[in-house]
């Protein structure tokens, strides 16, 4: 009988260690793989591109005396961008200029963070 109790005691220790590792390990893995942690460098690039487009659109509207609601084309704002070229997509997104008075937006091609593919976001969406 004394031997049976000794084996029970050694059997319980590995089980407790395994359960402890699971209790600590699973939450750590879940925290590390949160969607918000995916591609944080891409977010900065998208926000920067949106800001560039917003500045170019505002400059176009000021110089051409456009009222809120006027919608510029890509050719209209190109002269107000560096080298007259639209910013390159960071993650396959498509940029929409929108009318004057409305911020430019990006339609995401791939899911990222808390956004699904096809989501339309502006610079404030990432805050």
- Report the alpha-carbon angle 109-58-88, nearest 5: 30
Distance, in Å, from the CA atom of 1 to the CA atom of 51, rounded to the nearest integer, reads 77
pLDDT of residue 2: 52
Render pLDDT for 9-68 as a digit per residue (tens, 0 to 9).
566 777 788 888 878 877 777 666 655 555 566 778 888 999 999 999 999 999 999 999
73 with 87, same domain?
yes
Domain with 43, as residue range(s), is 37-126
47 with 18, same domain?
no
Query: What predicted TM-score, i.e. pTM, was given to this entire model?
Result: 0.67
65 with 82, same domain?
yes
> Cα-flanking dihedrals φ and ψ of residue 104, to 5°?
-60, 155
Q: Which residues contact 59 (CB under 8 A, 6 or more apart)?
A: 77, 80
Render pLDDT for 100-121 as a digit per residue (tens, 0 to 9).
999 999 988 877 667 777 888 8
* Other Cβ atoms within 10 Å of 32 Cβ, number: 8
């Amino acid at each position: 009988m004394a031997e049976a109790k000794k084996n029970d005691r050694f059997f319980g220790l590995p089980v407790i260690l395994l359960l402890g590792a699971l209790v600590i390990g699973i939450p750590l893995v879940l925290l590390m793989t949160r969607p918000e942690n995916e591609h944080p460098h891409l977010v900065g690039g998208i926000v920067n591109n949106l800001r560039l487009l917003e500045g170019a659109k505002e400059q176009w509207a000021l110089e051409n005396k456009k009222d809120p609601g006027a919608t510029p084309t890509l050719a209209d704002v190109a002269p107000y961008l560096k080298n007259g070229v639209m910013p390159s997509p960071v993650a396959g997104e498509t940029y929409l200029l929108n009318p004057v008075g409305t911020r430019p937006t990006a339609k995401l091609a791939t899911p990222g963070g808390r956004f699904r593919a096809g989501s339309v976001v502006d610079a404030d969406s990432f805050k």
